[in-house]
Structures are given as C-alpha cells and as structure tokens.
Structure 1
Amino acid sequence: MILDIVNGKMEKEGYWPLLLVFGVVGLLLWLFFGTNYELSEKDGLIYRSGPFNGKINTDRIIEIIKGKTLWVGFRPATVRKGLIIKYDNRGQ
C-alpha cells in the first residue's frame, strides 16, 4: 500500500481507509499528548483532553476519591487509577 502511494498507483478508493486510520491515530495521539489539568483559585479546575475541555469551579466539588478506577462515564484522563472528582451531586 505504501509503495502504491509512493509510485502514484493507488486508486482513489484506497485513500478513504487510509484517511480513516490516520484520523483515528491522530485523535488518539491528541488525546494522549493533549491531556492536562490546571487548578487555580480564580477559575477552579480546568481540564483539557484532546477535543474535550471544561471547567469545574472548586465550590462545586463535593468529593475527591484517590486511586480508584472509573469504568463508566466521561473520563478525560490517560491513567486507569487516578482521581475521581464528584461535583454537583453527580455520581451519588
């Protein structure tokens, strides 16, 4: 397949699977390398994980659980055992 691309012999139909694979790989790399968190007094907890981002004010946080794994729900993280932040009566 790569030789077909280099030699210019690849059919147009062959580009779609290639585009899909590169898109998925690009998204996974963006999620892995683009995940970070920032905690500040003014803005609270700001999280970024690839195309997903958000903000949680510190006065909305009810509980922080350390070292557990969240198997369902939205989890902008790159580790299995981290911090689970419960806020606004979510997860009760």
Structure 2
Amino acid sequence: MKFRSKKGFLMISVVIVVSTLMLYLLFSALNNTNKDLDIWIPSIVLILAVPLFLLWILVHTYYVLENGELKYVSGPIRGSIKIADIRQVTKNTTLWVGLKPATARNGIIISSKNYSELYISPVNNNKFIESLLEINSQIKVVDHKNDPIP
C-alpha cells in the first residue's frame, strides 16, 4: 500500500524562496557579465540543480508498505525497515534532527531495532498506523499530543 507525504508550509516556502533566489542570481549574473558561457556553464548547472533537487524531494516523497517492509522514498533518499523490527510509533510530533524522509511537520517517529528514529509524514497518520498495526500488532503507539507536558 502506498502513502503520499504531506506537503508542509515550511517545505513549500523553502522551495519557493530558494528557487526564486537562485533564479534571481542566475539572471543577474548573466546580465552583469560578459556573454562567455563557457565560464558560466558550471555555475548555471549548480544554480539550477539546487531548486530542482528541492522540488524533487517535495514531489517525490512517499512510503510503501509491502512484503513486510516499510519502504521510504524522498528524492534521492531511499531505504526500508522491516515492520517486524518496529517497536514504537510516536504520532503527531516532529523530529528536527536525524533521518527525515518527510516534507511536513506533525508526522510520525518510528523507533525500531535497526534505526534509532526515522521521521515520516504521511498525509493521514492514523490510516498509516492502522496499516502498520495490521501487519505487526505488537507496535506500541504513542500520541504526542495527548502526553502530559513534563
């Protein structure tokens, strides 16, 4: 079963701002210099690669549950976790540091034997967790919004 990733305001804003800035730099550099493009080709490629890379991540992030594995794809970031190895799922939270094949906040942190923490952001957290629990009912589910503040 395939699950798309939420598109968060922060990620969309970063893509728009970086793309606008890079295109502005490209056009201003080309207008304010000589027209010898042999020198500018590497710069043009790099300036265009950054927004395309961010757009690739924004558009091509999803999660697949099949053959007893959770497979994740986020642009060039790809991997999988055996669902049997998942110990805990924390929903409605955000992980700021670590492996984050995600494009939004308020997602899911998956704790397993192999990875300390993996953060993903499916469109519907509850539906994703239900699908995980159908495969491995031993997964502990923690709702971060319902936890008391320490």
Give the TM bin, normalised by the shorter chain.
0.7 to 0.9
CA distance in structure 1 between the aligned counterparts of 2:48 and 2:68, rounded to whole angstroms: 35
In the superposition, the TM-score normalised over structure 2's length comes to 0.52
- Asked if structure 2 preserves the Cα contact closer than 8 Å seen for 1:61 and 1:85, the reply is yes
One-letter amino acid of the counterpart of residue 62, structure 2:
N
**Residues 18-70 of structure 1: CA distance to partner in whole angstroms, max 9, x if unpaired?**
21111111111111111000112x24211101111111111110100001110
The code of the aligned residue for 2:109 comes to: I
Of the three residues 61, 76, 83, the one matched with 2:101 is: 76
Q: 2:73 aligns with which of 48, 60, 63?
A: 48
Q: Given that residues 68 and 84 in structure 2 are in contact (C-alpha distance below 8 angstroms), is that contact kept between their aligned partners in structure 1?
A: no
Aligned: 1:34 with 2:60: yes
1:65 aligns with 90
Residues of 2 paired with 1:10 and 1:43: CA distance? 55
Pick one of 24, 27, 35 that aligns with 2:50: 24
Question: RMSD between aligned alpha carbons?
Answer: 2.1
> Does the CA contact (< 8 Å) of 2:77 and 2:101 recur in 1?
yes
Task: Indicate the structure with greater strand content.
Answer: 1
Secondary structure of 2:99's counterpart equals: coil
Higher relative contact order (CA 8 A, sep 6+): 2
Give identity over the alignment, percent.
36
Instruction: Work out the CA distance in 2 between the residues paired with 1:28 and 1:63.
Output: 30
